[in-house]
Structure 1
Amino acid sequence: MTTQYPDEPATREGGGLARFRLDITYDGTDFSGWAVQPTRRTVCGVLVDALSRILRTEVGLTVAGRTDAGVHATGQVAHADLAADVDTARLVRRLARFLPPDVRVRAVTPVPAAFDARFSALRRHYVYRVATTPYGAEPLRARDTVSWPYPIDLDAVNAASERLLGEHDFAAFCKRREGATTVRALERFSWTGDADGVVSAAVSADAFCHSMVRSLVGALLDVGRGRRAVDWPAALLGRAERQGVAVAPAHGLTLVGVDYPDDAALAARAEVTRNLRVPTGPTAPAAP
């Protein structure tokens, strides 16, 4: 059984282990999300199986962001504690042969023992793609772009998005989990359109609660088509639960990057994040 979120980093002395960062990309269409689920095909499950077979030992992964079913990634990050003398270049080549074509490990890199893919992260970056053309998404992009049958008023969605920036309780845009905080710092939420009729929403925050990005996008799409006023999404911030907010389809969403501090600040950042994100006490839930 793999450990998703080990409490302590591996030591580099005495145990023969070292910490490694994995940079991962995947098409989430045929996965039931990141997290291991019995009888379901998941990104973590496929990766752990391949790594364990190649290295002939049980491997656990800690990930920066556990994406939902159907969500993609071009900039996912995970860490694993592996034999310190592992040949990383050879491991990447072997993974390319063992893994299915819809998931790839681009790089395996040694990192300090204090590096934690989840807790050391400063922010996560997502992009949501919407095709507003009459014919819908281009066939080669149909798996990562939602066909939207309405025009999107870019001025309206950008004005509404700007009002959501900053640290707020985003309970109105999250699927609540008992005991888990929904306070997040939204650093970027901006919309752009290209000549091909695709509108992209760029969303960045220190972290996201469950289904937050898709709920934000769903609310703003209603603003963009004129169903809701520009000030409506910000007015929802005072609510304790999600009501009346459409959740945008999963396949338009891609995790495109995760930012980390310099090596010297990794441990301090992880400590701060743990204190913010992980409740304590007998009713504390498992880490998301």
Structure 2
Amino acid sequence: MQYDGTGFHGWARQPAVRTVQEELERGLATVLRRDVDLTVAGRTDAGVHATGQVVHCDVPREVWAEQHAKLVRRLRGVLPPDVVVRSITEAHPEFDARFGALARHYAYRLTDDPAGPPPLRRTDTVAWPRRLDAAAMDLAAGLLLGEHDFAAYCKRREGATTIRTLLRLSVSRMAEDAGVEVVRIDASADAFCHSMVRSLVGGLIAVGEGRRPLDWPAGLLQRTGRASEVPVAPAHGLTLIAVDYPPDAGLAARAGVTRARRGG
């Protein structure tokens, strides 16, 4: 599924604020004529977007048989325009959108063009006021790869581990619409803890501006708590673009391993 996070208080249902989960569960309940409880691959924060989010829910076999062929079209008629379900399929009985995932992939976009982002990209591209050295940022990013305790880059949650395996962190500068240059940070990991991607981007930006040396972001991995000097980059530059899963035969084993590591 896809959503523009601009008007949402994040994914997870919360009282008195608008969330993606609430909108999607309401839409499904309207179409299916029964309440559903969604499990999501990645709980995005307020203002964060998604083009490749994955969710699952359980419905009775007879309801699925009746509704599945027309479900995408019917959801389009009841969901708000900033939420789109692109496809729906029957999953393996052991599938779990959260615990079965092998990797999540995010992209962060910003531009240091003096004019800012193109008008049609203003909701997913951050206007940065200073020139950035993308090559230096990319070198610093490479030093963060692998399995580490990313406590310095996470907002700790009670009982949750901050050990993650960072599979990809790369920075590139590219020319897009009307020649506007965009600095894009691609991040992939087995999972990300709260605010981790945006904090990593904030650390790399400090290198790109020349305020910190190349090895500074990696040096913070020695910390056992959140590094207050690492800024959290603005939410609207971040998009969840894809989630990877193992073949059906490996779903149960993957979910078991993830539950053990994350403490449920």
Q: TM-score range by the shorter chain?
A: over 0.9
Deviations along 1:246-268, one digit per CA (max 9) or x if unpaired, are 00000000000000000110010
* 2:165 match: secondary structure: strand
**In 2, Cα distance between the equivalents of 1:86 and 1:138?**
44
Which of the numbers 223, 233, 247 marks the counterpart of 1:248? 233
TM-score (norm 2): 0.95
Equivalent residue number for residue 110 of structure 1: 90
> Does 152-161 or 90-99 show the bigger shift?
152-161
- Flag structure 2 segments of 5+ consecutive residues without an equivalent: none
Matching residue of 2:166: 186
Taking the aligned partners of 1:145 and 1:269, their CA distance within structure 2 comes to 34
Aligned to 1:210: 194
**Distance of 2:197 and 2:134 partners within structure 1:** 18
- Look up the match of 1:40: 17
Decide which of 148, 161, 166 is 2:128's aligned counterpart: 148
Distance 1:237 1:168 in 2: 7
Aligned-pair identity (%): 61
> Residue in 1 aligned with 2:140?
160
Q: How many Å separate the matches in 1 of 2:77 and 2:107? A: 29
Task: Measure the CA separation in 2 of the matches of 1:86 and 1:160.
Answer: 53
The alpha-carbon distance between structure 1 residues 118 and 86, as it changes in their structure 2 partners (threshold 3 A), is farther
TM-score, scaled to structure 1 = 0.88
Indicate the structure with greater strand content.
1
Which one of 171, 181, 185 corresponds to residue 197 of structure 1?
A: 181
Q: Which moved more, 1:79-88 or 1:240-249?
A: 79-88
Alignment of 1:72 onto 2:49: yes
Deviations 1:218-266 (A, max 9, x none): 1100100101110000010011112210000000000000000001100
Aligned length: 256
> CA–CA distance in 2 between the matches of 1:98 and 1:113?
28
Q: CA deviation at 1:87?
A: 2.8
More helix by share: 2
Partners of 2:66 and 2:206 in 1: how far apart?
A: 50
- Cα distance in structure 2, aligned partners of 1:87 and 1:100: 20
Say what the alpha-carbon RMSD is for the aligned residues.
0.8
